[in-house]
C-alpha cells in the first residue's frame, strides 16, 4: 500500500496540474458579493452549465485515482484508509475547482446505501459512474401526506413477475431535475402497519412514467421538486434489501443524510457567525454589551455543535454507522441558524426587510427565508426531537393508535 506521504505528494501533483490554487481574499465591507443564501438560486441553464463543469472535474479526479479513495477496488475505489481521503479533501480545499454540490446526495446518501444493500450486479452498474460523476443520484423519501413520517408513506410498488410497478408522488426532492437515478422507498404491503411493509429500490429517473416538477420556494428559486410516478417499471434486481424490510435499508440513508446535513453539509452557520461580527463592527455595535452577549452565545452554541459533530464523525471513521447523535447534530444546526436569524433582525432592523441597496443588509433576507427549508430537510425538527427523546434520552415513545399508525 502506498504511504500517506507519497499519496499526499501524488495528490498535490494532480491538483497542481489540473486546477488553479485558490487565492486568498481578504474581506472588505462593501466589496464583492454579499449573498449569504442557504439554498442555490440558479436558472436551468446555469444548473446544466455548472453540472457539466462539475462532471468534467469529477471524471479527471476519478481517473487519476482520487474519486473514491476509500472505496472497494472491485467497484472503482482504491481501498485506502479513510485518513487518505481526508488528506486529499484537505488539500483540495486550497484549489479553485468546480462546485461538487450536484453530487452531494448521490455520493453522501445514495451510493452508501447501494454499497450496503444492493446485489453485486447493481453495485457494479452504478457505483463507479456515481463516483466518476457520469450519473447523478437523488433521494425519493418524503411525500405530501406523510411529510417526515417516512413510515407513513403511500407510494405503492406492486410486483409483476420480475418487475415492480410504482405509483405515487414524492416531494421536496433536491436535484431531481438533474438526476439519472433515484433511491426510492415504497409501500409493498399496505396491510402491514407503520415501519413494516416498506421496500427500497433504485429507480431510473428517465424511465417512462417519471415526471419531475420544480417547486418554487419563498426565496424565489426552485431547488426542490415534486416527482410523480405513474406505472413506472423497476426490475426486481434493483431492489435494495429484502421485500418489506425497507425500513432498515432506509436507516442507512437517513443516518448518512443527517451526518451530511448536521456535519455542515447545509452550510450557513459558520457564515452567520463571521458576518454577524462584521455587521456589529460596521454599525458601531461591537462594544454594545447586549450585542456582545448575543454574539458570545451564538459562538458557544456553534462550538458545542462542532465538537458534537467531531465525535460523531470519529464514530463514522471508525467504521460504525452514524447513530441518533446525528439527529442531535442536525437539530443543533437548525437551532443555531434560527438564533443567527433572530440576532440579524435585532442588528439590522428594517434594513433586512426593505431593500435600500445598502451592501450586506437586505441580502440577509434570503438567508432568513431559507432557514425553514433547512429545518425540513433531512427530517423536521419535531422528528429529530422525537428521535433524541426516545433513542438517546430513553423517554417513552409517543402514543400510537391500535394499528401502530
**Each residue's pLDDT tens digit, 57-98:** 999 999 999 999 999 999 999 999 988 998 999 999 999 999
Q: How confident is the model at residue 223 (pLDDT cuts 50, 70, 90)?
A: confident
H/E segment holding residue 374: helix 364-376
Q: What's the rounded Cα separation, in Å, for the pair 98 and 403?
A: 50
Q: What's the rounded Cα separation, in Å, for the pair 262 and 254?
A: 12
pLDDT at 36: 86
**Mean pLDDT, rounded, for 246-251:** 89
Q: How confident is the model at residue 152 (pLDDT cuts 50, 70, 90)?
A: confident
Q: What's the rounded Cα separation, in Å, for the pair 394 and 399?
A: 15
> Is a pLDDT exceeding 70 seen at residue 159?
yes
Q: Which residues pair with 215 in a beta bridge?
A: 224
**Each residue's pLDDT tens digit, 301-354:** 988 888 877 777 777 666 666 566 677 888 888 889 999 999 999 999 999 999
**Each residue's pLDDT tens digit, 185-222:** 999 999 987 788 999 999 999 999 999 999 888 888 88
pLDDT at 266: 38
List Cα–Cα distances, 364 to 200, 218, 266, 348, in angstroms.
Answer: 39, 14, 16, 9
Hey, what's the cell of 228?
410523480
**Each residue's pLDDT tens digit, 4-40:** 999 999 999 999 999 999 887 777 889 888 988 887 7
Beta strands in 236-376 (DSSP E): 239-240
Q: What's the rounded Cα separation, in Å, for the pair 100 and 106?
A: 11
Q: What's the rounded Cα separation, in Å, for the pair 272 and 274?
A: 6
| DSSP code per residue over 84-137 | HHHHHHHHHTTEE----GGGHHIIIIIHHHHHHHS-HHHHHHHHHHHHHTSS-E
pLDDT at 40: 75
Averaged pLDDT score across all residues of the chain: 88
Domains of the chain are 34-135 (1.10.540), 138-244 (2.40.110.10), 249-392 (1.20.140.10)
pLDDT at 370: 87
3-state secondary structure of 62: helix
**Each residue's pLDDT tens digit, 263-316:** 444 334 455 677 888 999 999 999 999 999 999 999 999 888 888 777 777 776
Amino acid at each position: 500500500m502506498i504511504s500517506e506521504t507519497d499519496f499526499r505528494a501524488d495528490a498535490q501533483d494532480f491538483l497542481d496540474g489540473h486546477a488553479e490554487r485558490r487565492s486568498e481574499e481578504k474581506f472588505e465591507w462593501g466589496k464583492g458579493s454579499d449573498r449569504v443564501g442557504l439554498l442555490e438560486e440558479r436558472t436551468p441553464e446555469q444548473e446544466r452549465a455548472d453540472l457539466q463543469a462539475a462532471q468534467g472535474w469529477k471524471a479527471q479526479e476519478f481517473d487519476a485515482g482520487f474519486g473514491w479513495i476509500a472505496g472497494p477496488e472491485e467497484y472503482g475505489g482504491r481501498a485506502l484508509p479513510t485518513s487518505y481521503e481526508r488528506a486529499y479533501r484537505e488539500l483540495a480545499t486550497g484549489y479553485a475547482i468546480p462546485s461538487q454540490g450536484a453530487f452531494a446526495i448521490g455520493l453522501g446518501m445514495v451510493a452508501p446505501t447501494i454499497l450496503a444493500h444492493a446485489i453485486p450486479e447493481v453495485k457494479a452498474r452504478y457505483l463507479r459512474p456515481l463516483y466518476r460523476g457520469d450519473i447523478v443520484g437523488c433521494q425519493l423519501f418524503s411525500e405530501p401526506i406523510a411529510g417526515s413520517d417516512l413510515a407513513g408513506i403511500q407510494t405503492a410498488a406492486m410486483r409483476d413477475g420480475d418487475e415492480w410497478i410504482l405509483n405515487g408522488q414524492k416531494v421536496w426532492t433536491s436535484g431531481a431535475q438533474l438526476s439519472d437515478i433515484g433511491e426510492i422507498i415504497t409501500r409493498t404491503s399496505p396491510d402491514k402497519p407503520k415501519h413494516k411493509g416498506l421496500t427500497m429500490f433504485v429507480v431510473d429517473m428517465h424511465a417512462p412514467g417519471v415526471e419531475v416538477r420544480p417547486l418554487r420556494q419563498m426565496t424565489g428559486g426552485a431547488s426542490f421538486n415534486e416527482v410523480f410516478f405513474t406505472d413506472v417499471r423497476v426490475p426486481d434486481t434493483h431492489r435494495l434489501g429484502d421485500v418489506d424490510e425497507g425500513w432498515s435499508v432506509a436507516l442507512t440513508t437517513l443516518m448518512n443524510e443527517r451526518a451530511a446535513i448536521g456535519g455542515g453539509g447545509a452550510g450557513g452557520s459558520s457564515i452567520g457567525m463571521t458576518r454577524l461580527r462584521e455587521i456589529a463592527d460596521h454599525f458601531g455595535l461591537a462594544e454594545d454589551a447586549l450585542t456582545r452577549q448575543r454574539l458570545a452565545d451564538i459562538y458557544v452554541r456553534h462550538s458545542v455543535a462542532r465538537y458534537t459533530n467531531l465525535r460523531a464523525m470519529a464514530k463514522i471513521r471508525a467504521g460504525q454507522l452514524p447513530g441518533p447523535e446525528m439527529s442531535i447534530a442536525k437539530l443543533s444546526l437548525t437551532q443555531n441558524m434560527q438564533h443567527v436569524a433572530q440576532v440579524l433582525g435585532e442588528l439590522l432592523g428594517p434594513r433586512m426587510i426593505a431593500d435600500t441597496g445598502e451592501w450586506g443588509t437586505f441580502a440577509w433576507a434570503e438567508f432568513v427565508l431559507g432557514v425553514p427549508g433547512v429545518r425540513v430537510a433531512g427530517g423536521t425538527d419535531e422528528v429529530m426531537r422525537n428521535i433524541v427523546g426516545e433513542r438517546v434520552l430513553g423517554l417513552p415513545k409517543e402514543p400510537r393508535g391500535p394499528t401502530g399508525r
